[in-house]
Amino acid sequence: MQEIIECVPNFSDGRNPEVYTAIADAIQSVPEVQLLDVSADPLHNRTVITFVGSPSGVEEAAYQAIKTAAKLINLDNHQGEHPRIGATDVFPFIPIRGVTRRDCVQLAHRVGKRVGDELGVAVYMYGFAATTKKNNKINDIRSGEYEQWKQEVGKKESRNPDYGPAQPATWGATAIGVRPFLIAYNVYLNTEDVEIARQIARNIREMSGGLRHVQAKGFLVDGQAQINMNILNFEHTPLYRVQELIRSEANYFGLKITRGEIVGLTPQKALMDSAKWYHQIHDMRDEQVLEYRLRDWTGIQIGDFTPDRFLEATAANTPTPGGGSAAALVGALAASLTQMVAGLTMGRDAYSAVQAEANAVLDDAMDLRQQLTNAIVEDSDAFEEFLRVRRQFGKEDQALEKAILRIVEIPLKVAYLSRDVVLLANSIAEIGNKNAATDAATAAILARAAVQTAVLNVRANAKSLPDDARSMKWKAEVESLNKQVNELVESVIAIAARRGGY
C-alpha cells in the first residue's frame, strides 16, 4: 500500500510572490512529493501550501520549506490580519493512507529536532505531537503573537520550546504537529462592521460553547466582515450545519451571507454531504454521481481496493491474499464499528458526561483501524516473500528464517491489535450511545474472529521455524491472548444486552 502524508504549512508572507514561490519551489524540489495548492492571501499576509508525499519525502520537504522561509521572511517587518508567531507559522502532518497517527507523530518530532538543531528555529510541538498539555493548541502557542514571544522566550519557562534555542530570532518560532484533516472555510457578510463578525465567531466556535470541532475568528477583509474558520472534523460538524448557524446568527443582526470561501483543498465528501442536505436527497448514493461512476469504471481511484475486488482477489486460486489478510480486514472492520459507536456518542446531550472518554475511544479506534488496514497488505507481501525465498534458497538459509519470522510477527501483531479493538469495544459499549450497543458487541465479536484467525496463522507458521523454544513461546502467548479475548467479548455481549434491553 502506498504511504501518503499530507502537509498544510502556513507561511507568514502572502504579498511577495518571489517569497512564497521560492518556498513552493523548495518543496517541489524534493523527490516523492507532489505540490497540490498554493493559496496566498495578501490581507492576512499569509500563504497556505498543500502538498502530499511519502513519509521520507514530506520529512525532507518540511525541512527545506522551513529553511527557505527562515531565510526570506523577517517577522520584525511583518504585518497582517492573521495571528502568527513565525516565518513558518504552523506545520501540520496529516496521515492520509498507509500511515498511522503514531507514524506522523514520530516524523514530526524528527523534523522538529532537526529544525531546532540545524536551523536554530524554536519549535513547539502541538496537536497529537504535543509534549505537554499547554502546547496542545495553536492559540496557546501563539499567545501574544511574535511580538510578545520574542520578549518572553528564554525568560519565562512556559515559553521554552520543545526543540531549538530559547532565544528570539527574526524568523520567530514554528509550531509543528499532527492533526486530522481540517477544512479552512470563510464566510462573508454584507457589512463592514467587524465586531458583528467577531460576535458571530464567538457564538459558533467550540471554545465559546458553539459547534464542536469549529475554530472561528472575525476579520475585516476588503471592506467585508469575514468569519474565518477551521472545521476540524467535517463529518461530525458538516459544512452545511456551520453555514446555517452563521445564517441564523447573521439574520439576528439583519444581515446576510454574501459568499463562502474554501482555502486550500477540501474532501469531496464534505461538498457531497452539503449537496445532499440542501437538496434533501438523503438517500442518494454516491454511485448516482456520473464522475464517481466513471472513476470506478476507468479504475482511476485513490484509496484501497473496494470490497468486491478484495473478495475476488481472495477467492482466486492464489496463496495471497489469504487468512492473514482476511484477519486484518475483519479486525479493521471491527475497529471501524467501534469508531462509529464512539462517533454516535459524541455531541449528544444524553452523553455529555462521557465526551472525553468517547473521544479517546474514537481516536484510538481510528489509529487501530489504520494499522489493521495496513496489515492486510503487509501479510500478503510477507507471505509472497516467504514463498519466493523458499523457492530460491530452500529450507536451510538464514533468509528463509527471516521470512518465517515475518509471517509469524505480522499475524501476531494483528492478534494484539484486534485484542485492543475488543478493549475499546468494551469501553464504548459501557458508556456509549445505548442505541448502538449491539454495534459495539458486533465489533467485539468480529475482533475476536480476527484474533482467532491470526492465532491460527501464528501456530501454523511458527512450526516452520527451527527454533522450537521460540515456537513454544509464541504458542503459549497466543493461547493466553485467545483466552483473554474470549472473556472480554462475553463481557461486551452482556453489556450490550443489558443496555440495549434485549
Residues 429-463 pLDDT 10s: 999 999 899 999 999 999 999 999 988 888 887 77
- The one-letter amino acid code at 222 reads D
**Alpha helices, DSSP H, located in 115-222:** 138-141, 145-152, 194-204
Inter-helix orientation angle 55-72/17-28, to 10°: 150
Residue 306 has pLDDT above 60, yes or no: no
| Strand 4-7 to 46-53 pairing | antiparallel
- The one-letter amino acid code at 105 reads V
Lowest mean pLDDT, pick from 71-75, 164-168, 204-208, 472-476: 472-476
User: Given this model, what pLDDT does residue 227 score?
Assistant: 96
Neighbours of 374 (CB within 10 A): 21
**DSSP codes joined into one string, 68-125:** HHHHH--GGG---SS--SBSEEEEEEEEEES--HHHHHHHHHHHHHHIIIII--EEEE
Is 279 in the active site? no
Instruction: List beta partners, residue 7.
Output: 51, 93
What percentage of the chain reaches a pLDDT higher than 70? Answer: 93
Residue 250 has pLDDT above 90, yes or no: yes
- Angle, CA of 93, 71 and 148, to the nearest 5°: 75
User: Given this model, what pLDDT does residue 385 score?
Assistant: 83
Residue 231 has pLDDT above 70, yes or no: yes
Query: Per-residue pLDDT averaged across 246-252, rounded?
Result: 96
Sort 466 into a burial class: Cβ within 10 Å, 0-12 / 13-18 / 19+: exposed
| Cell, residue 34 | 507532489
Residue 87 has pLDDT above 80, yes or no: yes
Residues 145-182 pLDDT 10s: 999 999 999 899 888 999 999 999 999 999 999 988 88
Catalytic choice (78, 82, 109, 213): 82
Residue 477 has pLDDT above 90, yes or no: no
Which of 141-145, 240-244, 301-305, 434-438 is the most confident on average?
240-244
pTM comes to: 0.57
Is 82 in the active site? yes
Residue 295 has pLDDT above 70, yes or no: no
| Residues 394, 392: Cα–Cα separation, whole Å | 6
Residue 301 has pLDDT above 80, yes or no: no
| DSSP category for residue 222 | T
Sort 48 into a burial class: Cβ within 10 Å, 0-12 / 13-18 / 19+: buried
Q: How confident is the model at residue 247 (pLDDT cuts 50, 70, 90)?
A: very high
Lowest mean pLDDT, pick from 33-37, 190-194, 380-384: 380-384
Catalytic choice (364, 379, 420, 439): 379
Residues 324-383 pLDDT 10s: 899 999 999 999 999 999 988 988 888 889 888 998 899 899 889 988 988 888 888 888
Residue 299 has pLDDT above 50, yes or no: no
